[in-house]
């Protein structure tokens, strides 16, 4: 709680990398790494360290390009269709197969198909042959001394073939940059250990190690080091003995009482940067210890992964002689579906999902928390909100670095609306049946789904909206909110809603009337489940103000169940499968119809989803889930 030695700076990204590069330049480490000889069979993906010039021509002799007979073209001048010419074997004509060297004095090949009456002594031809016909001249492909591959070239399969073809058995490629990773933190445990409360699984070394591997480097991960300055210094000393090109210290890079990376670097070498003006990833450290650069990587997983992408991969690319740009992914422009604010002094990197809805490529921001690794897993790209911008408005065009090929993204089916855990099952079936198609779901609640359809921001919406006046589901809301659209309504499933309580139901919850004496966990405004609660509260004459936790909003059934399971709430409303997943007791309050609403222009695009809905195996799998009834699954309810 004390001894805060540092305050974070706000150094712009380019200046921060510039400082490190300048420090490297002074000791000659800004140059691409040296070359090493690697057998061709092991050289795929390596980067040439020098130009590779043909050591031998290819072909290295004049070669027959066809099966047939090698001849002197001058001997054949008299041959015509009406006056065939006889050539004597072994003095005027020599049988050759494709690839054979031309016998001395011959300069052309007659295809076997063009030869008449071959016997053991002669062949007959009926046309003159031009010089070099059906001959692969020496050097046709590569001529000795010719440049075949430049330096700084990433070796592909065909490159290996070309090198072998002109006399190489080994390639001279840049040695791989060596990176040593030191994870730090008292709270860390390895992935194969079960963490206690307060412990977390150390996986940043796994992510950064894989990024380094992908970028052409070699990573070695050291044992986890406790939050202790002396132990960290010992670990860094040990890393230095491995003579790496780069040391990464994971976590401990901020300015808290357990953050020792900056102290260690300052004591052992030189601190160049402490705090970079990027979000997420702000508390990055850069320094030099002896002649080895060292980077302190922030501990939150999204910050760590983006530090790898933005700072470490480009550094490795430069050491490999590749452009730093080489490490960047393809880009595109997309339309932001939500307003976003952004700190004016920072380069802000926002994970987004992308979908092509009609003519527009839409970017929807994902959870911006630095602890949410799944926001990177689910991201189709990274939107860059530059420094000196305060954010982007809804509908504004943003630059997005792509994590997937645009062609695949354009095939994504984007569902917005109510959350149902079984949408994952639907997505799995779609992916298995149509490998290029993916289902992406955004949980914005049933009302949010209808709004998204009205704004043409989704291909379909999942909704379960009980109309209090008619007691029917969905159609009244569709008619009211999508007046100007032609939509098809297809049933996903009937599903069972209920009150989820701690296993054993310690508070003895039986019905809605018990809610005022419990801590409740609610769904967000606009969710069908929220509307169901409000409807039932009104039916039972319960004031929502009397419900403790009514304002505690979660966005999914599973998140509500998790809140109850963790003890932060006593009861929440949700589907049976969520209660089951979190081993909660479930007090059923009834069944509801969950429908998919598909605007007419997107019917063709979502056809794979409709096909899966009607698939017998899918229906059986869904029906086997507790709390789901598939009697109408896949059926068209209405076209409005």
Among positions 575-594, residues that touch a copy of itself (CB under 8 A) are: 581-582
The window from 250-258, 260-268, 335-343, 524-532 that contacts a copy of itself (CB under 8 A) reads 250-258
Nearer residue to a copy of itself within complex by CB, 394 or 568: 568
Structure tokens at 39: 């057998």
Q: Total number of residues binding a copy of itself (CB under 8 A)? A: 123
- 38: which strand partners? 171
Residues 6+ apart with CB under 8 A from 315: 17, 20, 246, 293, 324
- In the complex, what is the shortest distance from the CB of residue 162 to a copy of itself, in angstroms, rounded to a whole number? 5
606 lines the binding site for a copy of itself (CB under 8 A): no
**Cα separation, 277 vs 279, whole angstroms:** 7
Nearer residue to a copy of itself within complex by CB, 90 or 470: 90
Site string for a copy of itself, 106-145 (x = CB under 8 A): -x----x-----x------------xx---xxxxxxxxxx
9 lines the binding site for a copy of itself (CB under 8 A): no
Of the candidates 114, 80, 108, the residue with the CA atom closest to the CA atom of residue 94: 108
Cα atoms found within 13 Å of the Cα of residue 505, Cβ hemisphere only: 12
Which listed residue (1, 604, 616, 624) binds a copy of itself by CB under 8 A?
A: 1
146 lines the binding site for a copy of itself (CB under 8 A): yes
By the 8 A CB rule, do 416 and 458 touch?
A: yes
389 lines the binding site for a copy of itself (CB under 8 A): no
28 lines the binding site for a copy of itself (CB under 8 A): no
Which listed residue (21, 260, 319, 326) binds a copy of itself by CB under 8 A?
A: 326
Among positions 397-426, residues that touch a copy of itself (CB under 8 A) are: 403, 405-407, 421, 424
Beta strand 135-136 pairing with 85-88:
unpaired
173 lines the binding site for a copy of itself (CB under 8 A): no
41 lines the binding site for a copy of itself (CB under 8 A): yes
Residues 6+ apart with CB under 8 A from 359: none
607 lines the binding site for a copy of itself (CB under 8 A): no
By the 8 A CB rule, do 373 and 304 touch?
A: no
Structure tokens at 68: 């047939």
Residues 6+ apart with CB under 8 A from 42: none
Nearer residue to a copy of itself within complex by CB, 23 or 422: 422
The window from 8-16, 187-195, 273-281, 464-472 that contacts a copy of itself (CB under 8 A) reads 187-195
- In the complex, what is the shortest distance from the CB of residue 385 to a copy of itself, in angstroms, rounded to a whole number? 20
Query: Using alpha carbons only, what angle is made at residue 628 by residues 627 and 629, rounded to the nearest 5 degrees?
Result: 130
Among positions 337-376, residues that touch a copy of itself (CB under 8 A) are: 369, 371-374, 376
40 lines the binding site for a copy of itself (CB under 8 A): yes
Among positions 525-564, residues that touch a copy of itself (CB under 8 A) are: 549, 552, 556, 558-559, 561-563
Among positions 195-234, residues that touch a copy of itself (CB under 8 A) are: 195, 197-198, 200-201, 203-204, 206-211, 213-214
- In the complex, what is the shortest distance from the CB of residue 99 to a copy of itself, in angstroms, rounded to a whole number? 5
Helices (H), 396-543: 406-409, 423-433, 445-454, 475-481, 528-539
- In the complex, what is the shortest distance from the CB of residue 8 to a copy of itself, in angstroms, rounded to a whole number? 13
Which listed residue (229, 234, 377, 623) binds a copy of itself by CB under 8 A?
A: 377
Q: Could you please report the per-residue DSSP string of 178-195?
A: EEEEEEB-TTEE-TTSPP
Structure tokens at 75: 């001997």
Site string for a copy of itself, 493-522 (x = CB under 8 A): ------------------------------
- In the complex, what is the shortest distance from the CB of residue 275 to a copy of itself, in angstroms, rounded to a whole number? 16
By the 8 A CB rule, do 55 and 168 touch?
A: yes
By the 8 A CB rule, do 134 and 66 touch?
A: yes
Residue with tokens 């300048």: 22
Q: Could you please report the per-residue DSSP string of 269-308?
A: EEEEEE-BSEES----EEEEETTEEEEEEPSSHHHHHHHI
Query: Using alpha carbons only, what angle is made at residue 525 by residues 524 and 528, rounded to the nearest 5 degrees?
Result: 85
Among positions 49-108, residues that touch a copy of itself (CB under 8 A) are: 51, 56-63, 65, 67, 95, 97-101, 107
């Amino acid at each position: 709680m004390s001894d805060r030695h540092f305050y974070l700076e706000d150094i712009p990204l380019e200046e921060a990398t510039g400082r490190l590069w300048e420090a490297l330049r002074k000791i000659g480490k800004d140059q691409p790494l040296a070359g090493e000889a690697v057998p061709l069979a092991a050289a795929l993906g390596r980067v040439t360290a020098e130009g590779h010039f043909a050591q031998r021509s290819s072909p290295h002799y004049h070669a027959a390009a066809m099966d047939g007979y090698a001849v002197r073209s001058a001997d054949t001048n008299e041959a015509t269709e009406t006056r065939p010419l006889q050539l004597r074997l072994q003095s005027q004509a020599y049988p050759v197969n494709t690839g054979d060297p031309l016998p001395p004095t011959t300069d052309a090949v007659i295809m076997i198909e063009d030869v008449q009456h071959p016997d053991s002594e002669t062949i007959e031809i009926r046309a003159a042959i031009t010089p070099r016909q059906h001959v692969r001249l020496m050097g046709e492909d590569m001529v000795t001394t010719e440049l075949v591959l430049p330096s700084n070239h990433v070796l592909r399969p065909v490159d290996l073939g070309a090198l072998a073809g002109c006399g190489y058995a080994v390639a001279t490629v840049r040695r791989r940059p060596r990176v040593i990773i030191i994870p730090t933190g008292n709270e860390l445990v390895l992935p194969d250990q079960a963490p206690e409360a307060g412990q977390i699984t150390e996986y940043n070394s796994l992510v950064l190690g894989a990024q380094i591997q992908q970028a052409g480097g070699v990573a070695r991960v050291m044992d986890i080091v406790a939050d202790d300055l002396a132990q960290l210094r010992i670990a860094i000393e040990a890393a230095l003995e491995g003579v790496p090109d780069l040391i990464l210290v994971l976590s401990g890079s901020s300015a808290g009482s357990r953050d020792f990376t900056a102290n260690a670097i300052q004591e052992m070498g030189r601190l160049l940067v402490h705090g970079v003006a990027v979000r997420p990833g702000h508390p990055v450290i850069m320094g030099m210890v002896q002649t080895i650069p060292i980077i302190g990587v922030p501990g939150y997983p999204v910050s760590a992964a983006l530090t790898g992408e933005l700072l470490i991969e480009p550094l490795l690319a430069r050491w490999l002689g590749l452009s730093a740009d080489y490490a960047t992914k393809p880009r595109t422009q997309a339309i932001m579906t939500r307003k976003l604010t952004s700190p004016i002094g920072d380069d802000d990197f926002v994970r987004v999902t992308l979908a092509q809805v009609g003519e527009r490529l839409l970017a929807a921001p994902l959870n911006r928390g630095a602890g949410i690794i799944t926001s990177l897993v689910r991201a189709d790209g990274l939107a860059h909100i530059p420094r000196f911008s305060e954010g982007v408005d809804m509908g504004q065009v943003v630059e997005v670095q792509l994590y997937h090929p645009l062609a695949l993204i354009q095939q994504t089916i984007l569902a917005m609306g109510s959350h149902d855990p079984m949408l994952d099952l639907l997505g799995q079936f779609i992916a298995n049946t149509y490998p290029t198609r993916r289902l992406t779901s955004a949980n914005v609640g049933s009302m949010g789904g209808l709004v998204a359809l009205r704004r043409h921001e989704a291909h379909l919406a999942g909704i379960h909206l009980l109309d209090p006046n008619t007691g029917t589901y969905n159609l009244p809301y569709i008619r009211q909110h999508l007046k100007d659209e032609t939509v098809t309504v297809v049933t996903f499933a009937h599903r069972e809603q209920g009150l989820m309580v701690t296993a054993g139901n310690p508070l003895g919850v039986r019905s809605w009337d018990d809610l005022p004496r419990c801590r409740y966990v609610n769904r967000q405004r606009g969710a069908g489940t929220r509307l169901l609660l409000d409807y039932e509260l009104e039916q039972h004459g319960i004031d929502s103000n009397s419900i403790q936790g009514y304002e505690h909003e979660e966005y999914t059934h599973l998140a509500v169940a998790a809140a109850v399971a963790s003890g932060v709430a006593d009861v929440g409303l949700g589907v049976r499968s969520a209660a089951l997943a979190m081993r909660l007791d479930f007090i059923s309050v009834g069944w509801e119809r969950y429908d998919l609403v598909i605007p007419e222009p997107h019917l063709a695009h979502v056809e794979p989803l409709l096909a899966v809905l009607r698939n017998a195996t899918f229906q059986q799998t869904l029906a086997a889930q507790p709390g789901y009834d598939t009697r109408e699954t896949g059926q068209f309810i209405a076209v409005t």
